[in-house]
């Protein structure tokens, strides 16, 4: 099998609305949210500052993450580097009285934006997403309120998260959408049912969150029974006892493929994601400086097409076991479903 060429000829930079960013950014969620107890403030700060030193310019947070704590962290640590980064955050899904609430009403969006600006210690957010479609509010109304934020100079570009191609087109007709953030990885192929093509057609970046399959496609896959209380993977079917052993078997095949190619499993998974189109941006998250550097190594790799194609055959919508979310969560999400697993 062809060897990887570490010739610095990796994936080209990508457009994110008016900005140019590397093909791999940093999702900041797990520094404050969703994966059990967060790291210490000192460890989180070290991770963020190392990312800046290593050339990361695209940082992604949200009002939901830690119910504001993640925006506060990112704002405090990166305020001194504001002119070097593209800062993305999200509205439309926040914490209210300790519970996650989807609320896309214009008045809520305006209030959330002002709160985000204060926490982020900035006067403008570069890219502001509607985190989830509120099924009680037409997307045109939510995006219309976000467009007002652009007019007011509080936001530079707009995005959507976890929506379908049809919803993207409706929103794009109200105001240009710079980015669509959907889950996309070797084991989650929903964008291939519509949004991958629609974003390409409309000139919208497709920002792929969880490109490493919630940590499965790394050198340290999670052990579900050992996951801490509050880790969202405890409620994800792909990690339960019915499905996880089969998914680990597919991971083992991918690991063997990566080893034969002379590349780590995580860089292979990221290389596959960014190979899906020149408008696709990978957004892995990590708490480990070592994993951060490994993820960024893909920017200097030229992974042969036959290796990428083989990876895409080993794990896809037909070979993954279990849906990505339970039915209650899937009902909240507007994305297309695909494959036998949903």
Residue 6: phi and psi, rounded to 5, are -85, 65
Burial grade of 95 (CB within 10 A; 0-12, 13-18, 19 or more):
middle
CA distance 211 to 21: 17
Q: Is 35 a catalytic residue?
A: no
Could you tell me how many residues make up the chain?
A: 342
Among residues 65, 128, 129, 184, which one is catalytic? 65
CA distance 91 to 20: 23
Please, are residues 128 and 299 in contact by the beta-carbon 8 Å criterion? Answer: no
- For the annotated catalytic residues, the residue numbers are 65
């Amino acid at each position: 099998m062809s060897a990887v060429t570490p010739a610095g000829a990796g994936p080209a930079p990508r457009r994110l609305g008016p900005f140019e960013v590397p093909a791999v950014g940093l999702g900041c969620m797990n520094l404050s949210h969703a994966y059990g107890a967060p790291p210490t403030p000192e460890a989180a700060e070290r991770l963020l500052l190392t990312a800046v030193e290593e050339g990361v310019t695209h940082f992604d947070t949200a009002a939901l993450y830690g119910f504001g704590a993640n925006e506060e962290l990112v704002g405090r640590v990166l305020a001194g580097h504001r002119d070097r980064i593209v800062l993305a955050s999200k509205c439309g899904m926040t914490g209210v009285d300790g519970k996650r609430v989807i609320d896309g009403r214009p008045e809520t969006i305006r209030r959330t934006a002002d709160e985000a600006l204060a926490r982020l210690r900035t006067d403008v957010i570069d890219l502001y997403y509607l985190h989830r479609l509120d099924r009680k509010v037409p997307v045109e109304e939510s995006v219309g309120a976000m467009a007002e934020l652009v007019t007011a100079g509080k936001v530079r570009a707009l995005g959507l998260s976890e929506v379908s191609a049809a919803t993207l087109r409706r929103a794009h007709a109200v105001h240009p959408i710079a980015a669509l953030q959907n889950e996309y990885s070797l084991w989650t192929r929903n964008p291939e049912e519509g949004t991958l093509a629609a974003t390409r057609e409309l000139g919208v970046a497709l920002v792929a969150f969880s490109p490493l399959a919630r940590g499965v496609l790394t050198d340290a896959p999670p052990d579900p029974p050992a996951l801490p209380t509050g880790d969202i993977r405890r409620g994800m079917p792909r990690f339960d006892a019915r499905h996880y052993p089969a998914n680990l078997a597919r991971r083992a095949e991918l690991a063997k493929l990566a080893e034969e190619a002379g590349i780590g499993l995580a860089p292979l998974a990221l290389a596959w994601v960014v190979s899906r189109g020149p408008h696709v941006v990978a957004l892995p998250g990590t708490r480990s400086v070592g994993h951060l550097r490994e993820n960024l190594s893909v920017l200097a790799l030229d992974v042969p097409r036959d290796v990428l194609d083989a990876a895409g055959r080993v794990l896809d919508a037909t070979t993954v076991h279990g849906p990505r979310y339970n039915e209650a969560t899937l009902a909240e999400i507007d994305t297309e479903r695909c494959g036998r697993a949903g």
